[in-house]
Structures are given as structure tokens and as C-alpha cells.
Amino acid sequence: MRHLFMTTALLLASAASARGPESLSAAGFADAGQSPSQAAVLHSGRIVEADGPDQAGELDIYLCIGQSNMAGRGELGAEYADTLDSVWLLDADGKMEPACNPLNKYSTIRKDIAMQGVGPAWSFAQSMAERTGRRVGLVVNARGGSSIDSWLKGAADGYYEQALARTRQALEYGSLKAVIWHQGETDIAEPEAYLPKLEKLVSDLRADLGIPQLPFIFGELAPWLKDATAGEFREMLHEAARAIPYSACVSSQGLTPLRDEHDPHFDASSQVILGRRYAEALLEMPGMDE
């Protein structure tokens, strides 16, 4: 009987592989040290991993985009090495895998993998899973040094289109709940020009994803920045939170730099705090506690 069950499971796994992206990968059996009889089940005609998303529509999906602080430049210490409970990450093949740092590793627009570290999505996802009791799916697609101009729909760099395409892949596994955005260091000298661009980005995402009230959370830049327009840029972000419906701006007060006060990047412990602030801001929005 055991032999028959093993054979059946293997045949089912092979069938799922032949179907391609319509099913979750069963290739992780060997990597996890499990036989198909231990790790695979048949659900609605799909082979899935027993500990993974086991049905369409299960995950709360969050899109995480922006520049280097969203990509994560915090130090990858041992305390940030664990796989997160109940949190999944969209991989390079458009499938979900257990989330572990660096979360920007599958970004289609990232810089060198060696540059990727701890970002706010790590503690954000952990907080959302703990507070809501639901499984979380992340789409992290950031690029260091990018201007908001590169993120606008139709821009030559195509960052908007890449984020949209990856989000649509993730929707096989759940529904999009919010976008978290951390960007602006590249554009700090032009706060007046930034607000209408941010409004357009949010409007286009909501229209293209068909979610008019999609929450959009963004964060202040590092409070130690000495640029002449740093204060004006911070005020503009709070103005944006008032001007854009279903949005919020997260404070960066009390956070600390990766190296020194010439560095615009947050260190790992500050990224953890920032991510929790993103989660708190989102949870305070109407309907998010349901």
C-alpha cells in the first residue's frame, strides 16, 4: 500500500510539472529532504507543498517597491536569517516560496545580489501575519538609486510594468491588500515636482489593478539628511498623505544610519522598526482590522 501511495504521488507530481505555471512546484521535495508522500497533496487538481499556499485566494499579497531602502541595505546578521512564519515570497518563476532575507533577491530590476540586505518588508510582513492571523505573500521589486521618474507608467526603464507583471503573477495565490513604497532620496532636490508624480503612480496602479481604494503606504526619508530641501521634502510627503485617498506616511524619526550621517540608508534594526511602522499605519486604515 505504501508503495502504491508513493507511486501515485510521484505520478501526480509529474503531471503538475507538465502543466507548468498552473501549479505550485513540487521540485522542493528533494531539497526539503521529504518524499512526495510526505510533502505533496492533491488540491483542486493542483500539486502543492503541504506547508505552502494550498489554494488559490489564500494569501494576503503586498507589493513592496521603491529604491535602496526598500530593497534593503541593512546588515544581514544571524538574527535576520530565519525563514518567516506564515510569510511567502514570489520567486523568479512566479511561484511562492517561504520568505527569507534578502527579500529583494528576486527583483527583476535589482542591483547586484551582494548589495541586497534587510529592508522594511521583513518586519512588515511578520507584523501583518501576526496581527491579522493570515498568511502573507510578498512581491518585492525594488531598485537602489532609482528616481520616481523611472517608476512612472510608460517610462523607458519599465519599473512600473515589471512591478505590475509580478503582482499579477502573485494574484494566483491571493488578493492584493496594499502597496508599500519607500523612495525619494534620488528626488529630494525637487519636492514640488514629486507630489504630482506620486499621485500619478498611485492612480495608475489602482486603475491597472482594478482596486480603486488600494492602500498605498510610504515613508519619510532618513531624518539626518542635510540636503537643503530635506525638510520641505518631508512636509511634502505628509501633504501627499492628505491629498491621496487611502494613503499614509510613516515616520522615520528615531531611526539610525547604516554607517554615518552621510549615508541615506537605515541600518538593520531601524529597518525592523520602520517595517513595523508601515504595518501599524496600514492596520489603522478603515477596514483593515476586519
Task: Identify the weakest region by mean pLDDT among 27-31, 86-90, 130-134.
Answer: 27-31
Do 146 and 19 fall within a single domain? Answer: no
Q: Which of 148, 253, 153, 154 is nearest to 191 (CA)?
A: 148
129 assigned to some structural domain = yes
Q: Are the beta carbons of 128 and 138 closer than 8 angstroms?
A: no
| Same domain assignment for residues 115 and 245 | yes
In this predicted model, what pLDDT tens digit does every residue of 17-31 receive, in sequence order? 333 333 333 233 233
The answer to whether residue 44 scores a pLDDT higher than 60 is no
Whether 92 and 15 map to the same domain: the answer is no
pLDDT grade, residue 57 (50/70/90)? low
* Contact (Cβ atoms closer than 8 angstroms) between residue 246 and residue 215: yes
Q: How far apart are CA 253 and CA 115, in angstroms?
A: 25
Co-location of 12 and 79 in the same domain: no
Residue 153 belongs to a domain with what CATH number? 3.40.50.1110
Are residues 112 and 198 both part of a single domain?
Answer: yes
The closest of 61, 287, 280, 92 to 179, measured between CA atoms, is: 61
Please give the Cα distance from 215 to 11 (Å, whole number): 43
Give the position of cell 496581527.
131
HSE on the CB side for 58, CA within 13 Å? 14
Average pLDDT of 127-139?
Answer: 98
- Boundaries of domain holding 250: 59-283
**Mean pLDDT score across all residues of the chain:** 85
Domain count, the chain: 2
In 141-289, the DSSP E strands lie at: 174-182, 216-219, 247-250
Q: What is the mean pLDDT of residues 103-111?
A: 97
Q: Are 119 and 70 in contact (CB under 8 A)?
A: yes
In eight-state DSSP terms, residue 88 is E
Written as one string, the DSSP assignment of 102-130 is: -GGGG-TT---GGG--B-HHHHHHHHHHH
Residue 152 within a domain: yes
Ordered DSSP codes for 250-270: E--TT--BSSSTT--SB-HHH
- Residues 100 and 40 grouped into a single domain: no
Q: What is the mean pLDDT of residues 73-91?
A: 94
Do residues 168 and 32 share a domain? no
Are 274 and 219 a contacting pair, CB within 8 Å? Answer: yes
Specify if 289 maps to a domain.
no
Claim to verify: residue 44 and residue 63 sit in the same structural domain: no
pLDDT, position 261: 86
